[in-house]
Amino acid sequence: MTKGSGKMRVVYARCAGPKFLRQTFHEFARLSVGQCQWAQNYVEYYTGKGKKYHTIIRALAFKWIRILFRCWKDRTPYDDQKHMKTLEQRGSVFATLHRQKNS
């Protein structure tokens, strides 16, 4: 829902939905930052751009949902090295940050 007046505009999140599942993905994404290099790069990149931490984690959770859905659909386990290689092939900034740190 969006409310606006003059130059101000506020977007409200929809309250309905599975709150426990939403919280689970939020926590999963937050904990993945310590385990996956690309997730850590993702958080560092958007923190540097001035985004709020929980906004970044919500966006990261959405990325994880897409990744996990693809793994489920293809019936393959998640492979972090394969995902990093795919990011590098696509020229993602999150793979580039990884290379710069290790150099």
19 falls within a domain:
no
48 falls within a domain:
yes
Nearest 5°: phi and psi at 4?
Answer: -150, 155
Range of the domain at 53: 27-102
C-alpha span between 97 and 78 (Å, rounded): 21
C-alpha span between 81 and 6 (Å, rounded): 49
Number of folded domains in the chain?
1
- Its pTM stands at 0.77
43 falls within a domain:
yes
Torsion, Cα 73 39 37 94, to 10 degrees, reads 100
Contacts of 91 (CB under 8 A, 6+ apart): none
20 falls within a domain:
no
- The 10s digit of each residue's pLDDT in 41-86 is 999 999 999 999 999 999 999 999 999 999 999 999 999 999 989 9
6 falls within a domain:
no
- The 10s digit of each residue's pLDDT in 3-43 is 777 788 787 777 777 888 989 999 999 999 999 999 999 99
92 falls within a domain:
yes
15 falls within a domain:
no
